Amino acid sequence: MENSRFSLTALTPEKQFFSAEVTEVVFSTPEGRLGIMAGHSPMVVSVSECIMEILADGEWKIAAIGQGFAEIEYDKAEFYVDTAEWADEIDAVRAKDALERADRRIRSHLSLKEYLRTQAAMNRALARLKAVESFTALGSRHELK
């Protein structure tokens, strides 16, 4: 029987965020959501700020990740992203405040550079809030480790 697990590593500039054998990982690219399982065709793909869903040991783990890229091989996936945090560690109030600040700021007259920075802050806050929502919904169905 073919191995249904593969090695997943997620790194940020500050730390190794996650490293384990997993069954599946789901994340976003600029083109849409992508799911990876063992034996996936090799590829290098851009990663958008998003929710990363990881199926490990029969349980889903939810994280908010920042932009970066992923290198996918048949038996491993390595993510290099600018930020990563577990959904249960996110302060939802702070994330909502950050989203509201970015929304107010984006409505003002900004230079292109300021606009792009504010858009990135807004995307990061949205990903964090979506991760919290997904974790809350998932937690109501079964317990996470």
Sequential DSSP letters for 68-98: EEEEE-SSEEEEEES-EEEGGG--HHHHHHH
Between CA 145 and CA 137 the distance in angstroms is 15
Q: Please give the C-alpha separations between residue 23 and each of 42, 53, 79, 139, in angstroms, as whole numbers.
A: 16, 11, 16, 19
pLDDT at position 121, please?
A: 80
pLDDT at position 141, please?
A: 39
Domain regions of the chain by residue span: 6-87, 90-141
Between CA 68 and CA 80 the distance in angstroms is 5
The dihedral sign for the CA sequence 31, 84, 5, 25: negative
Same fold, 6-87 and 90-141: no
Q: What are the tokens at 112? A: 């292109």
CATH 2.60.15.10 fits 6-87, yes or no: yes
Tell me the pLDDT of the chain (145 aa) as tens digits. 357 999 999 999 999 999 999 999 999 999 999 999 999 999 999 999 999 999 999 999 999 999 999 999 999 999 999 999 998 888 888 888 888 888 888 787 778 888 888 878 888 887 887 888 777 766 543 343 3
Domain 90-141: CATH class, spelled out: mainly alpha
pLDDT at position 133, please?
A: 79
